[in-house]
Amino acid sequence: MNSILIIYTGGTIGMIQDEKTGSLKSFDFDSLLKEVPELKKINATIDSISFENPIDSSDMGPENWLEIAQIIFDNYNQHDGFVVLHGSDTMSYTASALSFILENLNKPVILTGSQLPIGSIRTDAKENLLTAIEIANTKINNIPTVPEVAVYFEYSLYRGNRSIKVSAEEFEAFKSPNYPLLAEAGVNLKFNKSVIHQTNGKDLFLNKKLDNHIATLKMFPGITQQQVNATLSIPNLRAVVLETFGAGNATTESWFINLIDEAIQKGIIVLNISQCIGGSVDLGKYATSSDFLRIGVINGKDMTFEAAVTKLMYLLGTNYSISQIKELLQQSLRGEITL
């Protein structure tokens, strides 16, 4: 019988309403079976670990990502799959980060949550939780069906570092604009095997250092020289995620190109991704992005913002040189980019 570990970090899925005050509070996760008795029907041993102080996902940061990764690493040989219960607001950031932190992952790590608390009458929490566990528990010929970090929400399984949250109100809160679904949950679980990572048989390695000395610069019509200069002048800045228009375009004002060029000459990495939900950066396709090619802006292609931020944190935390990091940013390390 397989063994699944549930890791509760916080978020709406683990909330119940206080009968006296009416406010939402975290419940003792040991009482999970009382809220979801259907868990007894799953053909697996289910254990759980809860953060000592469950946190809202808006408070999640690199230290919390490393805590989740450490729990998985410490329990890796004792369990066949992992389900991380997490607030939905920053779930895609955590999923992306875990994909880079957990190198040579050969078991399922499925993140899920809910839009309504698990104790609510119309909650989406039960279905999300039960199906996430079932996915983590599924094997074919004793090999995990989804040996990667993924997000499950409202009948759809997404590659973690390809997912984005698109709605604060709909149950279907996530999308994966540039990559197919890994699985769909209907009457049966339908896995899209051709787009799921394959196991490589290597030992799991934990990348324990993340460097968050990065900034983001989102282009908009009317952006000023002072605004751009302020961002690029942040002390100890090592990298910038440049969110551009369309296929990677930005203003061609000389002051803007010069500021970006000066930053790159100082050793600051500038990674260009599109503000568009779908599609890819294509530097040089239009004249408005040709200067980026000349000065050494890195093409982020179709990476999500979440993947771009966390990939930079991961790479900056390694001992790689700037030139090596620039090369790796343009490679698919965990399936986060289309080549």
pLDDT tens per residue, range 63-97? 999 999 999 999 999 999 999 999 888 999 999 99
| Tokens 């992952």 belong to residue | 105
In this structure, what token pair is assigned to residue 8? Answer: 């509760």
**Would the pTM of this model clear 0.85, i.e. be above it?**
yes
Low-confidence winner among 68-72, 118-122, 137-141, 292-296 (lowest mean pLDDT): 118-122
Cβ partners under 8 Å of residue 209, min gap 6? 317, 318
* Domains of the chain and CATH, by start: 2-206 (3.40.50.1170), 214-329 (3.40.50.40)
Binned at pLDDT 50, 70 and 90, residue 20 comes out as: low
Q: For residue 71, which of 134, 27, 6 has the smallest C-alpha distance?
A: 6
Q: What is the pLDDT of residues 200-239, one digit of tens each?
A: 889 999 999 999 999 999 999 999 999 999 999 999 999 9
Report strand pairing: 298-299 vs 269-274.
Answer: parallel
Kindly name the residue from 9, 12, 145, 304 that is annotated as catalytic: 12
Count of alpha carbons within 13 Å of 95, Cβ hemisphere only?
A: 38
Residue 201 is predicted with a pLDDT of 87
Least confident of 32-41, 74-83, 189-198, 245-254: 32-41
Q: Where are the alpha helices (DSSP H) in the chain?
A: 32-35, 62-74, 91-101, 125-137, 225-232, 254-265, 287-295, 305-316, 322-329
Region 142-169: mean pLDDT is 93
Give percent above pLDDT 70 in the chain.
Answer: 93
Determine the Cα–Cα distance for residues 247 and 257; give it in Å rounded to an integer: 17
Query: How does pLDDT run across 114-134, given as a tens digit for each residue?
Result: 877 766 777 777 888 999 999
- Whole-number pLDDT of residue 334: 97
Give the pLDDT band (50/70/90) at residue 38: confident
The more confidently predicted of residues 173 and 102 is 102
Mean pLDDT over each residue of the chain, to the nearest integer? 90
The question of whether 138 is a catalytic residue gets the answer: no
- Note the pLDDT of residue 18: 61
